[in-house]
Homo-oligomer: A and B are copies of this chain.
């Protein structure tokens, strides 16, 4: 198959031609964004377990083994000359190729893509705004980290157009779900609370680390009133760790709140 691809004719049967991949054509795949420090991917077993669980949920073939992915991640960092810095390794696992149309080819193997890029730590607390786009908690695109990521792209865009760093997403029932690309950690009274997965939260790696550390993080439904009254909010994901917020919709938050500092300390203790 000869196709027009961004300025030239290419043979889509060639291995480097991704145009026939359903990940590109239909967002039919998953990805992980893994923190790497000095050439070493961090918490890769957790990322691999989530990738495998997502593949099973979406009906994709199981991804390559943890060992193979770790080898490729390290080699990608090395070949990208990123093995002496803080970097992000992106691992995509797609439904591979199929004939035209929505139906997958049940015999098609999945396809793996690994790339790496510099990922400096965020330099300051985040300014948040609540996005208009709702997160569809009935969809696997909310429950898993899929290549159909446009809702998050557009929510982040809403935040950036408003001069903020990140968006808070509500679900279709109007409850708080997550940030565009992070777990929300909210101080509610004396508790540190994060929304449950069935409200549209992604099962985040850092979120899971906080739960597994026995830290007093509580999973509970959150309303917009909860976040409007919260004295402090933080974002959590594998790349940023825990990043406090300085504002939500223009209202000042405490980025040095003791509950957030305790959570950050608990995270360090699990490393």
Chain A residues packing against B (C-beta within 8 Å) = 1-10, 12, 14-28, 31, 58-59, 72, 75-76, 79-80, 88, 90, 92, 96, 99-104, 111-119, 132-134, 136, 138-141, 146-154, 156-157, 160, 172, 180-181
Contacts and interface: CB of A to CB of B under 8 A. Distances in A.
20 contacts: A1-B115, A4-B76, A5-B18, A6-B111, A6-B112, A8-B16, A14-B16, A16-B17, A25-B31, A25-B92, A25-B147, A26-B147, A99-B117, A100-B118, A100-B119, A103-B157, A133-B139, A136-B151, A146-B150, A147-B148
B153 A26 contact: yes
Contacts of A113: 3-6, 19
Given A141-B151, A147-B24, A172-B138, A4 B112 contact: yes
Contacts of A23: 24
Contact of A3 (B22, B28, B102, B114): B114
A103 B233 CA distance: 22
Contacts of A59: 157
Contacts of A115: 1, 3-4, 12, 19-20
Given A139-B134, A151-B148, A15 B24 contact: no
Nearest to A173: B172
Query: 10 nearest interchain CB pairs?
Result: A148-B148, A148-B150, A136-B136, A172-B172, A27-B27, A100-B117, A4-B114, A3-B115, A18-B18, A6-B111
Classify the interface of chain A: helix, strand, loop or mixed.
mixed
Report copies per complex.
2
B18 A134 contact: no
A96 B5 CA distance: 11
B90 A100 contact: yes
Contact of A147 (B27, B79, B180): B27
Contacts of A118: 100
Contacts of A157: 59, 102-104
A221 to B, nearest CB: 17
B151 A149 contact: no
A148 B5 CA distance: 19
B147 A80 contact: no
A24 B28 contact: no
Given A6-B15, A115-B3, A115-B4, A150 B141 contact: yes
